């Protein structure tokens, strides 16, 4: 990526993570990035386009982190790796992390182009759920539903750890991760039937 473009992204993230989006101006960004305000307009036509492109950049960073090594091993091993990647990402106080929490509340997040970009960026995660359903291991739910019941808890836990509301306890987190895995697998239903004798 172009160095100045990245400088502009980094500066914008820093301002948003410390001061929020209110009052964000191109001049503030230029000052933080150490570039002339006119330089920003060579890359982005206006603030809305800059934020839109930064949102995409943040999503790429998030996806690269949480999907690291997500194609290696069994479905269960892959799930647990993704789950802990999410917790580890969420518990760190980084500009990208704080920016991401701001961006998910921005207008335009539900637009078709953004939804398409997000689905492509997190393609490996969608593929993971599809594989599980194809093998008959996962419940036949929409991928968003599978994500909500199994991986959203990891997002919440990472955030709680970062905010000091929860202590990072590996053994406890492994137990929670196992419970999240069980929510999406049909195997738990079979086990319950076997235990009940039905």
Domain ranges within the chain, ordered by starting residue: 1-44, 59-196
All residue ranges of the chain with pLDDT < 70 are 1-2, 23, 95-109, 187-198
10: burial class by Cβ within 10 Å (0-12, 13-18, 19+)? middle
- For residue 195, what are the contacts with CB-CB under 8 A and spacing of at least 6? none
Q: What CATH class has 1-44?
A: mainly alpha
Determine the pLDDT at residue 191.
43
Find residue 185's DSSP bridge partners.
138
pTM: 0.81
Determine the pLDDT at residue 189.
45
- Which pair of structure tokens corresponds to residue 103? 């961006």
The alpha helices in the chain, defined as continuous H runs, are: 3-19, 26-33, 37-43, 47-66, 75-91, 95-103, 112-121, 123-134, 143-150, 152-162, 170-184, 187-196
Q: Taking the CA of residue 54 as centre, how many other CA atoms within 13 Å lie in the half-sphere pointing to its CB?
A: 35
- Tens of pLDDT, residue by residue over 62-104, are 899 999 999 999 999 999 999 999 999 989 877 666 556 666 6
- Give the CATH superfamily of 59-196: Tetracycline Repressor, domain 2 (1.10.357.10)
């Amino acid at each position: 990526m172009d160095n100045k473009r990245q400088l502009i992204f980094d500066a914008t993230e820093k301002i948003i993570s410390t001061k929020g989006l209110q009052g964000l101006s191109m001049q503030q960004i230029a000052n933080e990035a150490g570039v002339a305000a006119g330089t920003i307009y060579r890359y982005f036509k206006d603030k809305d386009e800059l934020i839109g492109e930064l949102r995409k950049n943040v999503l790429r960073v998030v996806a690269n982190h949480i999907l690291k090594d997500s194609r290696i091993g069994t479905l269960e091993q892959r799930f647990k790796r993704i789950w802990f990647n999410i917790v580890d990402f969420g518990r760190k106080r980084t500009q990208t992390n704080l920016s991401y929490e701001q961006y998910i509340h921005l207008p335009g997040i539900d637009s078709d182009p953004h939804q398409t970009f997000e689905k492509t960026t997190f393609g490996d995660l969608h593929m993971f759920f599809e594989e599980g359903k194809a093998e008959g291991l996962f419940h036949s739910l929409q991928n968003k539903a599978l994500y909500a019941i199994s991986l959203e808890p990891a997002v919440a836990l990472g955030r709680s750890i970062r905010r000091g509301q929860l202590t990072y306890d590996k053994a406890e987190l492994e137990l929670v991760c196992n419970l999240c895995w069980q929510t999406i697998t049909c195997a738990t239903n079979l086990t319950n039937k076997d235990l009940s004798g039905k």
